[in-house]
Structures are given as structure tokens and as C-alpha cells.
Amino acid sequence: MIDVKALEKYLEKSGLSLDAAAIDKLDRYAGAVAEKNKVMNLTAITEPGEFTAKHIIDSLSLLTAAEVKPGAKVLDVGTGAGFPGMVLLIARPETELSLLDSTRKKLDFIRETALSLGLSPEIIHLRAEEAGKMPEYREKFDLVTARAVSNMRDLCEYCLPFVKVGGVFAAMKGANAEAELAEAETALRLLGGRISGIKSLEIEGAGERNIIIVEKISRTATKYPRPSAQIAKNPIK
């Protein structure tokens, strides 16, 4: 269950538009997450108002920071219960959306629920560092996003290999974004990225949020991404 009034208030304020069918699907998606949450740990946030602010509105806010053209290939890395990816697909069903996570059970939940809503995202059950090496995923996406997956520096190594040259990586971050970004500057450059801006937002009920927009300006060297143990042990500095 979502707080429809709070969502409508946000839509009006942000200038985003969603039709009644999309709002209904968001509500049904939230209901499915709440139901599954009884038997599987999908989210600690269960109160409808908080769920609406921190999962639904926060996910939608990506649309205010990054352009998502019809037919664009979009990837959500470490999607978990489907945030922001499933919310984006419900809001913009004309995108070609892929959802990647290393946890099969979460992806099984998403696949089943998406189908019940008439949606069929591509589901990728792999670690980001593995998928990023594979020709079918490497440098194939117009927009790659991730929320609550890793620090910005390691996230660049996970995500930038998926982005086409000319495409965008949009990292959804909290209040600490500037500090994370400072630490990620070398990684960003080395992996073919360039900062194009940070969109700072204040979301009622979710606090300060920052969306870091990275343009992919050159191809990522084939040695990246490295295996996760190496990323952890020897981060790009």
C-alpha cells in the first residue's frame, strides 16, 4: 500500500507525470513487496508513508535527473526488491529495462510480480563484476543506475563497464555524496567517466538525496571490472 496523496503531491511539485494505471501498479507492487516481506527480508521499511517516500518517490526522482528516452536500454545494478528499477519500469514502460542482482530469490520475486503487472524486465542473476565482463552486457546500456549497493568508488567499477560511450551512470546517493565522489575521482576517470553534475534533492520523509550523473566519455579498459575480492582489497585510488 502506498500513500497516494503524498505521491500525487510529489508529482505535482516535481513536474513528473504518471497516469492512474501506473499509480495503481505502484500500489500493487508495494503490496506485493509487503506481502513477500513477511517470509523474506526485502526491506526494513514497511509503514506506507515511509515506503512511499523512501522507495517509490526516491526511485521516481531519478527521472528528474536523468533523461530516459522511449526505447532506452536501462540497467539497475543491485536492484534488490526492485528499487529504483521496477518503479522506473512502471513509470516508463516503454524503456528496455534490465535488473541485475546476485540474489536469486529477490529476482524470482521481481519476475513473478512484474509478470502479474503485465511487465517483463530482463532479469540478470549475476554479480556485477561478472556481468560487466560479458559481451552481451558490456557497454550496452544508455543508462545504468544503482542505489544502496556500494561506495561510489567501487560502484564506478561495477557500473561504468555496462555504460555505452555517450551513455550515463546515475548513482543514487544520500547526504554523503560529495565525500564519496571525492574518493571516486580517480576511478571515474580511469573507467571512462566524467562527472556531468549532481542533482541534490530534499524528499519529504526521505531527507537529503543526491543523484550523481556520470557521462561515459571513453571505453572502459578490458581489465575492469576486476573480481570483487580485488576491488575490495585494492580499490582504485
Q: Could you tell me which stretch among 1-9, 73-81, 90-98, 112-120 binds ligand SAM (CB under 6 A)?
A: 73-81
Asked whether position 111 contacts ligand SAM by CB under 6 A, the answer is no
Shortest spacing between CB 22 and ligand SAM, in angstroms: 19
The helix (H) or strand (E) run that includes residue 138 is none
Shortest spacing between CB 69 and ligand SAM, in angstroms: 23
Distance in angstroms (rounded) separating the CA atoms of residues 144 and 67: 12
Asked whether position 149 contacts ligand SAM by CB under 6 A, the answer is yes
Distance in angstroms (rounded) separating the CA atoms of residues 146 and 129: 14
Asked whether position 78 contacts ligand SAM by CB under 6 A, the answer is yes
CB 169 within 8 A of CB 145: yes
Angstrom distances, CA of residue 85 to CA of 160, 231, 232:
17, 25, 26
Binders of ligand SAM among residues 153 to 182 (CB under 6 A) are 158
Q: CB-wise, 99 or 117, nearer to ligand SAM? A: 99
CA max distance for the chain: 49
Binders of ligand SAM among residues 83 to 102 (CB under 6 A) are 83, 100-102
Q: Could you tell me which stretch among 2-10, 91-99, 122-130, 211-219 binds ligand SAM (CB under 6 A)?
A: 122-130
Closest to 155 (Cα-Cα) out of 224, 72, 55: 224
